[in-house]
Amino acid sequence: MPADLTGTQVFRPEAGKFEFVEGPIFHSLVLVDEINRAPPKVQSALLEAMAENQVTAGGVTYALPAPFMVVATQNSIEHEGTFPLPEAQLDRFLMHVMIDLPDAESELAILELVESEGAGTAPQAGKPIPSQQILDARAEAAQIHLAPALKDFVVRLVMATRDPDAAPEVHGQIEHAVSPRGTLALAAGARARAYLRGRDYAIPEDVMEIAPDILAHRIIPTWRASAEGATGRSLVAKLLDKVEPS
């Protein structure tokens, strides 16, 4: 139920009134495991939180903490009992990162970590990052310079998902193109990548490296294209081959 996520009104006999008890959504970092197993009403409540940084319960709106971030996993193997996320909700996610099975080194690290936890010798968790530090980093990343030519590259990439003449290679293969939210996300992602690499300006490589993770889940292939093996990521790869930076 949505109330399991957002919270609910609880009657307090000693006070003689109802009191709102916050749900798990009221945290700065929220992990939603197997989001496609959540029923549509719960997904809708999450959508409001992601879009507006607030939730509504009992006709009252409550602000969520800042910063507020949602990390979700999706079960892509089992489909029974799942509810596919609508395009509008997929569009709310800044990125869609594909996580493959771990390599041998990572698998060994997982094994050693689990064994150390069982033996009570696991390393202590680090100190939480102060919320203000994250907000400051966001503000600094937002100041990263995007040259007009780079902004034009971002826009042309997105427009190529809508205009058949811009990228004939994908003509007829895209059912739903990238929305303006994707343009904003691609620019923000390029700035963030530049910031993490210690630059105060973004370059075309920032856009090209981040584009698959930011655009792929926003591109819905047609039924025919999907039957032929096309995916959002393969279509983004074609776009990057066709659309070049200025």
User: The domain 2-93: what is its CATH number?
Assistant: 3.40.50.300
For residue range 88-109, list pLDDT tens digits in order. Answer: 788 889 999 988 889 999 999 9
At 160, list the tokens.
Answer: 């190529």
Strands 29-32 and 54-57: unpaired
- Taking a C-beta distance cutoff of 8 angstroms, is the pair 215, 186 a contact? yes
* CA pair distance 190, 179, nearest whole angstrom: 17
Q: Please give the torsion angle defined by the CA atoms of residues 133, 134, 140 and 142, in that order, rounded to the nearest 10 degrees.
A: -160
Domain boundaries, the chain: 2-93, 131-242
The residue type found at 140 is E
Q: Considering only CA atoms, which of 214, 224, 222, 223 is closest in space to residue 233?
A: 214
Give the architecture (CATH level 2) of 131-242: Orthogonal Bundle (1.10)
Distances (CA, A) of 168 to 43, 99, 211, 235: 36, 30, 19, 12
Same fold? 2-93, 131-242: no
The residue type found at 232 is G
For residue range 169-224, list pLDDT tens digits in order. Answer: 787 888 888 999 999 999 999 999 999 999 999 999 999 999 999 999 999 898 88
Q: What is the mean pLDDT of the chain?
A: 87
At 181, list the tokens.
Answer: 């939210």
